[in-house]
Structure 1
């Protein structure tokens, strides 16, 4: 509860957030924070670690209605993943802007990481995405296995999130534009027939 309350405050104030602000927002005594966390830095590290956990985005993707068209399912998934990455970026950016360093003095490798590491998170995310292809896999309409398509789609989204994909027109590509490119490629639909 303390971490959930602190995360929006860290996003707004960065490392300048005070434990008094956290206590007020959580409706608890300030001393309660120090029964759970060694100090404010420990609380901030816990917030960053929580932001990195993909559980909520996996649940959002798993909740996508499989009865809607594949393109709509993938747009919802892309938007959920984008919100997850944006949340991490907002917190990281606010902390960086206020001079917070991930490592503590004498412990340069204490930077928060998602449980299981990046490779495990990517594999789990690809598996959740693969479930979105289940109706087409069951119907035999996929050109490649669902797991391969999910990994390719996730890879494409990752490139877009990092900003490595050139802008589409006036800015970054929308989720719908990414899904359209993923599903239909470079050839116009009329020319495919």
Structure 2
């Protein structure tokens, strides 16, 4: 009997990751090598020829779910001949599944080690690129029906992702506790609201908001304005305008120091005032870094 051809390395890795995901969701980092190998249907030695360690396997599993690859595979399988609303419903179903599966994996594995600033920025850039890839794929599914819309396909793709996040994100539901979600997270519900709005009669009788014009203006502004790094805010000291470092401020500060009796005659102890920014700075950085770590986790 002829031996089956070996899978390409990437497909082999993906197959193993999909097979071990339920075990990791259940046992987290406590999952044994034997449990993982049995779930994947391979010997333990084979498992560690594909992944050098359990930690590498865990990292690859997280990347498979937070990355765009698995989502793009699923979006690519949507039948482009389906009616428009059904295509969007399938997209929403995939996005909800991605959000739910990612949350389950991250929750099972626990919080990651505290990243440094460089790693945090790299992670942010990576996730933005993953989101762009998914947006492009969803936009492509919408484009054949662009003439039916008052928004562009790209705008609708953004709306779709935003509504899925707002209504079905597991982390938001977790923080709501026992407070019920009033909006259904069923894919059909989200698509119905997105396409038909909240009015009983959603047929326009007059010209509505110019969504396409608003998009064009936003793109023009983005083209004129240089991109700013939001992470740079964390390096500014309290009271410093965004993008201006502490070294770029001192003209005003030096003038005040040259004539303290004129500008601040009531300050008998200027050394106490000079120490205040240093006291608040660690708290500023700590809160920013905590928020970033919470976002990653």
Bucket of the pairwise TM-score, normalised by the shorter protein: 0.7 to 0.9
* Cα distance, 1:158–1:35 mapped onto 2, change above 3 Å: same
* Cα distance, 1:115–1:6 mapped onto 2, change above 3 Å: farther
> Residue 114 of structure 1 contacts residue 121 of structure 1 at CA under 8 Å; is this kept in 2?
no
Between 1:144-153 and 1:77-86, the stretch displaced more is 144-153
RMSD of the TM alignment (CA)? 2.9
> Residue 52 of structure 1 contacts residue 114 of structure 1 at CA under 8 Å; is this kept in 2?
no
- In structure 2, runs of 5+ residues without a counterpart are 1-11, 206-297
Larger relative contact order (C-alpha < 8 A, sep ≥ 6)?
1
Q: Measure, in 2, the Cα distance between the counterparts of 1:133 and 1:31.
A: 46
* Cα distance, 1:36–1:69 mapped onto 2, change above 3 Å: closer
**After superposition, where does 1:12-161 map in structure 2 within 5 Å?**
12-96=26-110, 101-103=111-113, 108-109=115-116, 117-137=126-146, 140-161=147-168
Partner of 2:182: 168
> Residue 64 of structure 2 contacts residue 70 of structure 2 at CA under 8 Å; is this kept in 1?
no
Output the TM-score relative to the length of structure 1.
Answer: 0.78
Output the TM-score relative to the length of structure 2.
Answer: 0.53
Query: How far off is 1:123 after superposition?
Result: 1.4
**191, 196, 201: which is aligned to 1:184?**
196
Query: How far off is 1:191 after superposition?
Result: 6.3
Q: Measure, in 2, the Cα distance between the counterparts of 1:115 and 1:3.
A: 23
Aligned partner of residue 160 in structure 1, secondary structure: helix
Query: How far off is 1:125 after superposition?
Result: 1.3
* Cα distance, 1:190–1:85 mapped onto 2, change above 3 Å: closer
* Cα distance, 1:185–1:15 mapped onto 2, change above 3 Å: same
- Name the larger-Rg structure: 2
Between 1:148-157 and 1:159-168, the stretch displaced more is 159-168
Q: Deviations over 1:62-107 (max 9, x none)?
A: 33223332211111110011111111112122223xxxx422xxx7
- The number of residue pairs the alignment matches comes to 181
> Residue 68 of structure 2 contacts residue 131 of structure 2 at CA under 8 Å; is this kept in 1?
no
